[in-house]
A and B are shown apart, each in its own frame.
Chain A
Amino acid sequence: MRIAVALSRSWQRVEVDPLTGAMSGGHRGESPAEHAALEHALRLAERTGGQVHALTAGPVEAEEGLREALAAGAHRATRIDVDTPLTPDALARSTSTAGALVAAMPETPDLVLCGDRSADGGTGATPAFLAAHLGAAQALGAVHLELDGDRLLAHRRLDGGAREVLRLPSPAVVSVEGGLRLRRASLPAVLAAQDAQIDVVAPPGNRSRTDVVSSGPRRPRAREHPAPSGDTAHDRVLELTGALVERTPPTVIGPLSAGDAADELLSYLQRHGFEVRS
């Protein structure tokens, strides 16, 4: 199986000044999901006798992630030379990365593995764009992968906690949630990866620009609520303020032992109709 893994070395723990909206990034790194994607790729390659090609679109610093991938067992690494500064413009993007990644693939792989979102608070759209570019099937947000014969099954979350099990054709793009830990590379492999070759390619020229009007700290939006339905103004005010909803008077008890605390909690739940489900 020819497997490509997309790693985005992006900003971790971005802080936004609550007054000015100025951003400061900690350090760059892959998201846990991308490490999981890489580990899945390595395992699948081992089981199917395949090759793993790690790709990233980013500045020189991003090569560190590729070297980690090589040390862990990836066979080949490519960096698409684009800048990913910590600016509202760059964060608003989502469309162009996939095109650049696809252009850097020497042939259409059987499987592309991605993280379900990049660490700078990405939206997880890149994998779907990859699928669109490649004409591939997609499975986004997989929580579990398994081989069924020579076909890959992906389990993913749907709304309300339902799970969908998908059987993937080739080519396919799968994005995975974090969870699976990346193996620890041996010391000789780490050293070898420091000298390994990384292909650097220029991005395709047509990068789309986003028209950013403004950016600032996020403020939660006021949520709409149904207008109160009471007949009189008085009723409506009561309804809006919840003044007549029955509430238990607040109580604080303790310090309690663990046993007593558990008793208190369970009996409170029972009193208010939150039964234990058997």
Chain B
Amino acid sequence: MNALPEVLAVVVVRDGALPGGADEAVAEAGGAVLLAGSGTGRAAKELRTARSTWTVDTAGVAPGSLAATLAASLRGVRVVLLPASPDGRDLAPRLAFETGRPLHAGAIRCDADTAALSRADDALEVVVRFTGPVVVTLTPGVRGVGHPLSPPEPVALAVDPVEVLDAEVVEVRDPEPETVELTEAARIFGGGAGLVGPGEDGTATMRTLTEVAAWLGASAGATRVVTDAGWAGHDRQIGTTGVVVDPKLYVAFGISGATQHTGGLGRPEHVVSINTDPSCPMTAMADLGIIADAPEVLRELDRRRRDA
């Protein structure tokens, strides 16, 4: 069964590890997936949504060579769907170029004929119709996955490796807790407008929040007010138009709890809100509401971190 289906997920695997959003992309593609990279056999067993799995084992995952290697096999596939993980975003344009198709990047929904693309900082949804074969990337976290399926036996696909100019990997460093992508963090400390006093350097404040969070094994996130002010990177923005997260613990520092923010919070088991306003929505939805000056509390935590 070497004939690949019309709609196929392509997932880049590194040392047997699946990227974020892999299962969602596979589910969106109806369960058909091609795993490419190193350790694809191991990764195949981790999939929860696959109905049929093909594998291509390659030495590295450099996007230029990988695209050139896979292009020929994908000729009959109309919709190639990749998760918009770092490796997926790397590979998708190269695949599109190599196979002469348009790329529809950042989809939040994709079927055999159309894709809904999220644009304008996630405020706009543009639906495009495919006029021929396409490559699509699906934003992780937008879909969710249903009941787990037991993984099918993978079929190895024979390809002719092609090499083109790529960057040379010097090393891959393990994640540090504070930079773990928010989507995967189990503990998140969020900073809002109330965490930065008037005239204060918000960037420094967010750095302190990141350090204090790391000390407590957590990652730092922020509201749009904070990311818009440039005090934190946009990848830190939690909310309906930012990153959608799913932590167990969420500690909100000076956050009012606008729906656009809480809409991206998932269902944390524990919510703590530190706010001067006892009736703000964030405190109302918290398990523990602490009425206090958030900048001061952060400074105090930072002192204890240094002393520890």
Taking a contact as CB atoms under 8 Å apart, the answer to whether B291 and A274 are in contact is: no
Contact of A217 among B14, B124, B290 (CB under 8 A): B124
Tell me which of A123, A272, A278 has the highest count of chain B C-beta atoms within 10 A of its own C-beta.
A123
In the complex the two chains form, what is the Cα distance from A245 to B3 in whole Å? Answer: 47
Hey, which chain A residues are within 8 Å of B72, CB to CB?
A: none
Query: A252 near B: Cβ within 8 Å?
Result: yes
Hey, which chain B residues are within 8 Å of A129, CB to CB?
A: 93, 96-97, 103
Hey, which chain A residues are within 8 Å of B230, CB to CB?
A: 32
Q: List which B144-169 residues lie within 8 A (CB) of chain A.
A: 144-148, 164-169
Q: A23-B120, A121-B122, A248-B288 are in contact. Are A258 and B175 (CB under 8 A)?
A: no
Taking a contact as CB atoms under 8 Å apart, the answer to whether A131 and B173 are in contact is: no
Query: A264 near B: Cβ within 8 Å?
Result: yes
Chain A residue nearest to B218 in the complex (CB): A274
Tell me the smallest distance from the CB of A277 to a CB of chain B, in Å. Answer: 4
Number of residues from B at the complex interface, CB < 8 A = 107
Tell me the smallest distance from the CB of B208 to a CB of chain A, in Å. Answer: 13
Hey, which chain B residues are within 8 Å of A132, CB to CB?
A: 64, 67, 93-94, 97-98
**A117-138 interface bits toward B, Cβ cutoff 8 Å, 1 = contact, 0 = none:** 0001101110011011101111
Taking a contact as CB atoms under 8 Å apart, the answer to whether B128 and A212 are in contact is: yes
Contact of A14 among B123, B168, B173 (CB under 8 A): B123
Q: A165-B173, A221-B109 are in contact. Are A251 and B288 (CB under 8 A)?
A: yes
Hey, which chain A residues are within 8 Å of B75, CB to CB?
A: none
Q: A121-B119, A161-B181, A210-B102 are in contact. Are A218 and B124 (CB under 8 A)?
A: yes
Taking a contact as CB atoms under 8 Å apart, the answer to whether B172 and A158 are in contact is: yes
Taking a contact as CB atoms under 8 Å apart, the answer to whether A160 and B109 are in contact is: no
Q: List which A223-278 residues lie within 8 A (CB) of chain B.
A: 223-227, 242, 245, 247-262, 264-266, 268-269, 272, 274-278
Q: List which A2-27 residues lie within 8 A (CB) of chain B.
A: 11, 13-16, 21, 23
Taking a contact as CB atoms under 8 Å apart, the answer to whether A217 and B287 are in contact is: no
Hey, which chain A residues are within 8 Å of B286, CB to CB?
A: 250, 252
Q: A132-B93, A177-B233 are in contact. Are A168 and B142 (CB under 8 A)?
A: no
Tell me the smallest distance from the CB of A17 to a CB of chain B, in Å. Answer: 9
Hey, which chain A residues are within 8 Å of B114, CB to CB?
A: 213
Taking a contact as CB atoms under 8 Å apart, the answer to whether A253 and B170 are in contact is: no
In the complex the two chains form, what is the Cα distance from A227 to B144 in whole Å? Answer: 12
Q: A165-B171, A254-B291 are in contact. Are A94 and B103 (CB under 8 A)?
A: yes
Taking a contact as CB atoms under 8 Å apart, the answer to whether A135 and B164 are in contact is: yes
In the complex the two chains form, what is the Cα distance from A131 to B164 in whole Å? Answer: 11
Taking a contact as CB atoms under 8 Å apart, the answer to whether A265 and B131 are in contact is: no
Tell me the smallest distance from the CB of B295 to a CB of chain A, in Å. Answer: 9
Query: A204 near B: Cβ within 8 Å?
Result: no
Taking a contact as CB atoms under 8 Å apart, the answer to whether B89 and A124 are in contact is: yes
Taking a contact as CB atoms under 8 Å apart, the answer to whether A159 and B167 are in contact is: no
Chain B residue nearest to A143 in the complex (CB): B179
Query: A219 near B: Cβ within 8 Å?
Result: yes
In the complex the two chains form, what is the Cα distance from A227 to B149 in whole Å? Answer: 12
Query: A141 near B: Cβ within 8 Å?
Result: yes
Chain A residue nearest to B88 in the complex (CB): A159
In the complex the two chains form, what is the Cα distance from A261 to B293 in whole Å? Answer: 9
Q: A172-B167, A258-B297 are in contact. Are A221 and B98 (CB under 8 A)?
A: no
Query: A197 near B: Cβ within 8 Å?
Result: no
Q: A261-B300, A262-B301 are in contact. Are A165 and B274 (CB under 8 A)?
A: no
Taking a contact as CB atoms under 8 Å apart, the answer to whether A91 and B300 are in contact is: no
Tell me the smallest distance from the CB of B272 to a CB of chain A, in Å. Answer: 6
Taking a contact as CB atoms under 8 Å apart, the answer to whether A140 and B86 are in contact is: yes
Taking a contact as CB atoms under 8 Å apart, the answer to whether A253 and B120 are in contact is: no
Hey, which chain B residues are within 8 Å of A226, CB to CB?
A: 145-148
Q: Which of A49-57, A149-157, A183-191 contacts B (4 or more CB under 8 A)?
A: A149-157
Query: B20 near A: Cβ within 8 Å?
Result: yes
Query: B289 near A: Cβ within 8 Å?
Result: yes
Taking a contact as CB atoms under 8 Å apart, the answer to whether B292 and A258 are in contact is: yes
Taking a contact as CB atoms under 8 Å apart, the answer to whether A277 and B119 are in contact is: no
Q: A32-B230, A132-B93 are in contact. Are A137 and B142 (CB under 8 A)?
A: no
Tell me the smallest distance from the CB of A12 to a CB of chain B, in Å. Answer: 10
Query: B111 near A: Cβ within 8 Å?
Result: no
Taking a contact as CB atoms under 8 Å apart, the answer to whether A159 and B20 are in contact is: yes
Tell me the smallest distance from the CB of B224 to a CB of chain A, in Å. Answer: 11
Taking a contact as CB atoms under 8 Å apart, the answer to whether B216 and A215 are in contact is: no
Query: A75 near B: Cβ within 8 Å?
Result: no
Q: A164-B169, A274-B249 are in contact. Are A128 and B94 (CB under 8 A)?
A: yes
Taking a contact as CB atoms under 8 Å apart, the answer to whether A277 and B96 are in contact is: no
Hey, which chain B residues are within 8 Å of A210, CB to CB?
A: 102, 104, 128
Q: A14-B121, A23-B124, A252-B291 are in contact. Are A154 and B167 (CB under 8 A)?
A: yes
Taking a contact as CB atoms under 8 Å apart, the answer to whether A218 and B123 are in contact is: yes
In the complex the two chains form, what is the Cα distance from A164 to B61 in whole Å? Answer: 12
Known: A95-B102, A166-B168, A277-B216. 12 other contacts (CB 8 A): A92-B126, A94-B102, A94-B105, A128-B94, A129-B96, A132-B98, A215-B124, A215-B126, A218-B123, A224-B143, A268-B272, A277-B217
14 A–B contacts from the bound complex (CB under 8 Å): A14-B121, A95-B103, A121-B121, A129-B93, A132-B94, A132-B98, A157-B179, A162-B175, A165-B169, A177-B233, A247-B287, A254-B278, A268-B272, A274-B217
